[in-house]
Amino acid sequence: MSLTELINTFANNILPLILISGAGFVLGKTLNIDSRAIGRVTFYFFSPVLVFSLLTHSDLPAGEILRTGALAVCVTLASGLLALLGGMLLKLDRKALVSTIITSAFANNGNYGLPLIAFAFGQAALAHSSIYLVFSSLLTNTFGVLIASLGHLDLKQAALGMIKVPTIYAVILAMLINQSGITLPVPVDRTISLAAGAGVPLMILLLGLELRQMRWTSNFSALGLSTSIRLLAGPVLGLIFTSALGLKGVGHQVGVMEASMSAAVANTNLASEYELDTSLVAATVFVSTLLSPFTLTPLILFLGK
């Protein structure tokens, strides 16, 4: 793994994302763009359409879908457990501990993961990546709410949060179409493909828009713990669980990459909703995203060999 290989891998796979995300950051700062509105459009329309398009044009077997979903669950729970144990050793207070757990458990599998994996391993890898994203979103809206609420969870709210994830329905509908052998009419298929094509660049731009809201924290021990779990423990967990679940080839590559992504921007919403340490969460999202090229670049090279 030479320096030239690392530079080329970074330039070809990560630099384009940084440039588009950077444009979003600058636009957000100068034009005061409402990232929440764009995020809602992406969440409720572009993301499910993208997932639907990928799956209807893919021949991913049901067993592979289940293994990829199981991988997302295992990596999320293991990351959260590591954060819990580390936070207890550091004797973090309740808010800092819960904030560390959610930023360690929930990674940026959408805005960052999808486009990076498309660049690194090709469009065919996006089917696996989409399944991982769906299960990750489910966990965020159930397990994430449970952890963030820390005992005062409204179960009705958690259930409603889960059924409001539109990407779930996109997966179910796509699987039904694939199983039944239905061929979509050309106008419908082209409409979906056109909208899906806008999904990935919009996600990258949105990442930059949301990162502009970064706030700093003085809790460096918690910041270091969650960032380390995301960027250093994540790849190890990905390798362990992809092997245990029998994921090979593209499924293995995608699984390890998704397990290694930086902290999800969606964690800031959980922190705000449940009055956690919002500055710690925002700082973790920013720092882990900023440092991620240093871990993801050699990982892409390693997985590509």
Which range has the top average pLDDT, 44-58, 126-140, 146-160, 215-229?
Answer: 215-229
Residue pLDDT, tens place only, 121-172 = 987 788 888 889 888 877 887 777 778 776 445 556 656 656 767 877 887 8
Mean pLDDT in residue range 218-236: 94
Q: How far apart are CA 266 and CA 254, in angstroms?
A: 21
pLDDT on residue 264: 87
DSSP code of residue 263: B
Residues 237-270: b if buried by 16+ CB within 10 A, e if exposed: bbbebbeebebeebbbbbbbbbbbbbbbbbbbbb
Question: Where residue 64 sits, what CATH number does that domain have?
Answer: 1.20.1530.20
Residue 4 clears pLDDT 50, i.e. is over it: yes
pTM over 0.85, yes/no: no
Instruction: Please report the pLDDT score of residue 157 as a whole number.
Output: 62
Give pLDDT, residue 159: 60
DSSP state of 218: S
Residues across the chain: 305
Q: How many domains does the chain have?
A: 1
Identify the domain containing residue 121 by its residue range.
3-304
